[in-house]
Amino acid sequence: MNLVMKSDLANKLDGAETDALISRLTAIKERNGNPIGIEIGKFGHATAFFSRNIPGPSYNLVKGLRDGDEEAVDEIIRFYSEKRYQSVWN
């Protein structure tokens, strides 16, 4: 029995999860006044999610980093650093 997941399947699953999170958070963001302060950034293959009013990893995470995205890491760090002073959890 082969229990090792191949990278193409892992990437498809990660992509599906990312797409679902983009859909959910975009719908929340589009509510009147963006009530929980959602922001979504795209950096290479990666997508960074931020929620100003809900701390924790559910809506504050990066998904989809791949080989070749090393240069995007500094941009992702800047994305979150700029928000640090805007959040209720700092």
Each residue's pLDDT tens digit, 46-62: 999 999 988 888 899 99
Give pTM, 2 decimals.
0.84
Distances (CA, A) of 63 to 33, 48, 54, 85: 25, 7, 18, 23
* Cα–Cα distance, 87 to 54 (Å, whole number): 9
Instruction: Give the pLDDT of residue 42.
Output: 96
Query: For the chain, which residues make up each domain, given as ranges?
Result: 36-90
With tokens 């975009």, the residue in question is 26
